[in-house]
Amino acid sequence: MREEEDGKVTVSFLDPGIMVKLVPNTAVHNVANEARARLLRVKDSLTA
């Protein structure tokens, strides 16, 4: 999260689906999928 010069706030997220490619453990993939779904809900609530 950062405040821009014009006073607007920008929120950025890292996609867990991309990050999980670095980990060969398939159990982590399930966690990443859930984390992605939650982050998308947060993003949607911020833009609503």
Q: Do the Cβ atoms of 46 and 8 come closer than 8 Å?
A: no
pTM: 0.71
User: For residue 48, what pLDDT is reported?
Assistant: 58
Q: Do the Cβ atoms of 4 and 12 come closer than 8 Å?
A: no
User: For residue 3, what pLDDT is reported?
Assistant: 94
User: For residue 7, what pLDDT is reported?
Assistant: 92
Angle at 40 between CA 5 and CA 18, to 5 degrees: 90
Ranges of residues in the chain with a pLDDT under 50 are none
User: For residue 5, what pLDDT is reported?
Assistant: 95
The structural domains of the chain, with segments of one domain joined by +, span 13-47
